[in-house]
Amino acid sequence: MHASLSAGHTLVANASVRTRVTIPLRFADGYEVTAEAVTFHGLADGKEHLALVLGDPTAASAPLVRLHSECLTGDVFGSARCDCGPQLREAVERIAATGGVLLYLRQEGRGIGLYNKLDAYALQDAGLDTYEANTALGLPEDGRDYTAAAQMLTALDIADLDLLTNNPDKAQQLRDLGVPVRFIRRTGVFATDSNVRYLHAKAQHTHHTIALPETATVTALVG
């Protein structure tokens, strides 16, 4: 990867916008908003990552940005094993309200892919936590790299930004890539009986800022 000075704030190679197209979004709960979907040439990992521009990013001093990693089971089918579906829904509305961008990153299963994630779920059902299960499969706990995200933000002329996340690694990686993350805005906490063990592991192991009540349910589910 060659450093690029012409790209503005990032230390990554240039990517460019390929297509911008308007998509009216309609969610299952009736919420509707219009997004501008943007595709790119030249992304570092060659994946088909998508940007959704919501509201007017130029209206805010620092547009709100979310890096959302693909989760087929949660985003599409509403799986309660994780919090991805509600986080995605929340992010779209919050970003649209102030203006910003949602990057939908093709990083299923924290980068290990769908089939491996489902293998990891099987191991979790046998008692391992979400990180132990990846390791037991010989895979990284979290294989995500946000270089392509930095390229997309640069191509969209997003400079200072506020990042919507509970995951400190996303902000750290972006800053290391030269992206000026101003503030971190926490997402909501969408705990259910089915995902509380997963959320607890993220808070404990990777220092996600997820405030979970120390309820009997949590204690019982966390082994």
Query: What are 2's two structure tokens?
Result: 């060659």
Cβ at position 182, least distance to Zn ion in Å: 27
Strands (E), 43-106: 50-54, 64-69, 100-105
Cβ at position 4, least distance to ligand GTP in Å: 26
- The entry of ligand GTP, Zn ion, none that residue 195 binds, CB within 5 to 8 Å by partner kind: none
* Residue 125 designated active-site: no
* 76 DSSP 8-state letter: I
Cβ at position 22, least distance to ligand GTP in Å: 25
Q: Which of 191, 187, 196, 195 is nearest to 167 (CA)?
A: 187
Q: Which of 83, 119, 129, 142 is catalytic?
A: 142
Q: Render 159-198 in DSSP notation, one character per residue.
A: -SEEEE-S-HHHHHHHHHTT--EEEEEPPP----TTTHHH
Chain positions contacting Zn ion, by CB under 5 A: 71, 74, 82, 84
- Positions at the binding site for Zn(2+): 71, 82, 84
Which residue's CB is nearer to Zn ion, number 112 or number 181? 112
Do residues 152 and 103 lie in contact, with contact meaning Cβ atoms separated by under 8 Å? yes
* Residue 20 designated active-site: no
Q: Which of 75, 69, 26 is nearest to 50 (CA)?
A: 69
Chain positions contacting ligand GTP, by CB under 6 A: 68-71, 82, 84, 87, 107-110, 112, 117, 120, 130, 134, 165-167, 170, 187, 198, 202, 208
- The entry of Zn ion, ligand GTP, none that residue 117 binds, CB within 5 to 8 Å by partner kind: ligand GTP
| AA letter at 126 | A
Q: Name the residues annotated as catalytic.
A: 142, 144
